[in-house]
Structure 1
Amino acid sequence: MSSPLPIVVCALDDQIGKPVSELLLPEFEVIHFIQSLEAAQAEIPHLLAGNDPKSKHTNDVGTKDYSRPVRAIIFGRGFDLEDIEALREKVAGTSPEAVIWIAGDPSRKPPPGAVPPPNYPQLVAGVARKLLGGWVEAGANKDEVILY
């Protein structure tokens, strides 16, 4: 792929989302950042179809370049896998191309109130880069959910 892969990052904290989006460049372009399940449910169908989200922008994370459909969606550990799978089912067939959904493994969810380490954005970006890179190397032609 010659241009960066357009992706969406969903995380509750923009203090994590912004550095992650910057660390994924230049191969992966975060075009939109979502901070709640409700926003994900409202915006992801439009983004998968290659359209602008219908809600107003509430943060300054991502390039806001909606000229291409999203090819990957990364969810932080604050999102439940059941909700992600339900959303994925609801929007199946919306995207003209395969989409990878990366979600936190429920068995590895931190305990309530746990504080992430200071290098957490770097860790998240490293894992995301590895998973996205593997998917691209395999042809980026399979709709799938990958847990981290």
Structure 2
Amino acid sequence: MQFAAHILSRLRDIRFVRYLLASVGALAVDMGAFLALLGIGMAPAPSSAVGYSLGILAHWLMSSRAVFHDSVARKGFARTRQKALFVISALLGLGLTTAIVGFGDMAGIDPRIAKLVAIGVSFMATWLVRSRIVFRAAITGHEGA
């Protein structure tokens, strides 16, 4: 109940709504690749990793242009640092996703169900890291952080 109340309160934050929409777009890329790779016989964990990796690229493009556009570092070291932090946050999500799908598969759980659980866990973890660390200038008001 408290988690649902927290999510509803975050919906009032337009940045969170834009992040949610960007995540849905990235998820479409991720799941499309995941299901296609499962369909051609690739194992669930690697399929999940490849799909998530393609989703990372889509998410950076949407996040830097529509979600955190006001806090994207312009150029130079600050921009490189921000991209590196974004990739690190994505790797956190990738690790969580791959582990959850892999453990689910070993436990005999349908990989699509395990992937759904992984989506929720990864979404919240990456939102926290990206909103508080990667794009913190949007919150603190400091350019290029």
Tell me the TM-score normalised to structure 1 length.
0.32
Higher strand share: 1
Question: Which protein has the larger Cα radius of gyration, Structure 1 or Structure 2?
Answer: 2
Higher helix share: 2
